[in-house]
Chain A
């Protein structure tokens, strides 16, 4: 059981480049989330999804896009990378509402992104 898998683990981008951070989970979770972690700033929610075909903005969505065509996958797209997007990105999933006694986030191992 792999849980939540994020790829890549590390990436360096030049300003203006685009890339997609991949996230997949094999737990049949309805809910998926993207967070970014900046030093001293905790985790900020970028986007989240409550099921296939449904996405919504979090606290800091600007500069990002997401899609949720399947239950398993929730990729995060950076279209024009900027230095402000240098951060560690975490994908997470949860059984929320389908399993109310097990409402916790399962996190991927993170993607460290540097935009230079």
Chain B
């Protein structure tokens, strides 16, 4: 069965520090998609990235980077030089395209960036 585990419930770092949010997933499919979403204090959910199972290239977007490793079933998210505006709940999600069309979310990691 598909499952997403975000073991870090809450993280606090001081501004300008780097921080990595962990995501471990379980799936029986060979074709699947992984996502990260951000939920700032205002409550809306903001898409950050989508990665398919055939593309293991790491991705960098400004201060954000993602490390996808199929060997460890992980899709970790790093924020470099964190800023207070990065404070939010971050969700990792998984969908198994070959099996059904559900998108399953992890429990989220609440990130506090302290000034």
Contact = CB atoms under 8 A, between A and B. Distances in A.
Do A and B interact with each other, yes or no? yes
Interface of A: 31, 33, 35, 40-45, 48, 50, 56, 58-59, 88, 90, 92, 94, 96-97, 103-107, 109-110
Interface string B18-44: 000000000000000101010000011
Point out which of A31, A59, A103, A110 has the most chain B C-beta atoms below 10 A from its C-beta.
A103
A113 B6 CA distance: 26
Interface in B71-106: 91, 93, 95, 97, 100-106
Contact of A45 (B9, B103, B108): B103
A50 B100 CA distance: 10
Contacts of B95: 96, 103
A45 B102 contact: yes
B33 A107 contact: no
